[in-house]
Amino acid sequence: MVHTEGALSSRAGQWPAPVPAPGYTGHVPQTENGSAPDAPTALSWVEIDTHALLRNARALKARAGGGLFIAVVKSNAYGHGLELAARTLADTADWFGVNSLAEAERLRAAGIENPVIILGRVPPEDADRAAVARARVVVYDRELADALAAAAARQGVRLPVHLKVETGTNRQGLRGDDLVALARHCASLHALQVEGASMHFADVEDAAAEGFTRGQREAFLGEVGRLREADVRPSVLHAACSAALILYPETVLNAVRVGVALYGLWPSAETRREAARRAPELQLRPVLAWKTRVAQVKTVPAGETVGYGLTHRVERDARIAVLAVGYYDGYDRGLSSRGRVLVRGHAAPIVGRVCMNIAMADVTDVPGVAAGDEVVLLGRGGREAVTAEEIADMLDTINYEVVARINPELPRVPAVSEFGAPSGPVPATARSRA
């Protein structure tokens, strides 16, 4: 027999204020401060410490030494909330980097006026929309260049483009004669401005690959030299990412794209160890906390199983907390009987299989747990913390994936900073820096 101690209470104060997800398509009316009084109550939500986000950005920008600072907010700001992150960083970032045209359009719809560069693919049929969004576009094929030029001409503007240079990562980009041919073609299109050239390091997070990293930098500069010999002179050169900025500031050239480090996440454990030696003054603070609530607490007698597949059998009478979160929300099924959460400042293990919308935690050793209690899935609770790195190790992946895969429909809300001050959101300054 299973004894139920409490079901979810709906009384006021048990749950965070309803807030719509970024990009929510349900047309929930919003007030000026972003609240949505008609939105249903959130079962799980993400809190963003915008104070920490700003601190990280300012520290990293200082390390860039005056180089153009491109804050990368692609993939919903690495899971942190595109609009919230961009509004917070608008007065610190020089440009924003996104992956897609859809993200660029969301920034413009949110009132962000900073220059935006689309780092991923733009289909030629979307060239007109890219021109309307005043987005800079990374190009590596003639078809897209022609489409962008035609769109810019129709809009009566000159559209800046950036050539993607291949230096050894073998993803996007061109090199050698193919690069020069595309560069000359772009330069011949009067509605395009060949403003920049970029590359991406393959293994910069690993200090043992320093020789390969430096070789890529030299290859990039060599290709830029060939462009200049062809009378194509991109003025904005960006190679460095977060790890490159931290470990090899000489790779900044005159611009830098900073992504994961903005959010207080180290690109790798090796980067963090090396940073302690090469840049001891640099301190990154995690920005994100992911939370849910206890929906129910029940006593399960010794010998019974919990969840699908009969995978977890309790060895003693156990108090099991049913959590209102599952793999649909981004809480990975690989954390079944492996992960841990924080309840009332104490760690509690996940037991049984993580379900689509539900997970279970053993709170036998946590006194007083009741329906409605806040549960920390990722972040700090009391003196304990569950980090993205800890979860990544359990799942044999990287911290980037842990945060980026949190369902974008979950609300991202400003949190109270660890320093005690409200953390935002910070309104964007309405001005053009093009």
Concerning whether 308 is annotated as a catalytic residue, the answer is yes
The whole-angstrom separation of Cα 176 and Cα 223 is 7
Concerning whether 164 is annotated as a catalytic residue, the answer is no
The whole-angstrom separation of Cα 351 and Cα 66 is 50
100 CB contacts (<8 Å, ≥6 apart)?
A: 74, 118, 120, 121, 122
Give just the sign of the alpha carbon dihedral 94, 60, 23, 33: negative
The one catalytic residue among 74, 78, 164, 327: 74
The owner of tokens 């600072």 is 69
Specify burial of residue 230 (Cβ count, 10 A radius: 0-12, 13-18, 19+): middle
257 CB contacts (<8 Å, ≥6 apart)?
A: 70, 72, 97, 119, 198, 238, 240, 241
Give just the sign of the alpha carbon dihedral 235, 237, 249, 63: positive
Which among 313, 369, 308 has a CA at the least distance from the CA of 341? 369
The whole-angstrom separation of Cα 334 and Cα 393 is 11
225 CB contacts (<8 Å, ≥6 apart)?
A: none
Q: What is the signed CA dihedral for 247, 251, 253, 254, rounded to 10 degrees? A: -40
Which among 79, 78, 72, 80 has a CA at the least distance from the CA of 104? 72
CB 164 within 8 A of CB 140: yes
Q: How far is CA 127 from CA 100, 153, 183, in A?
A: 12, 11, 18
Query: What residues act catalytically?
Result: 74, 308
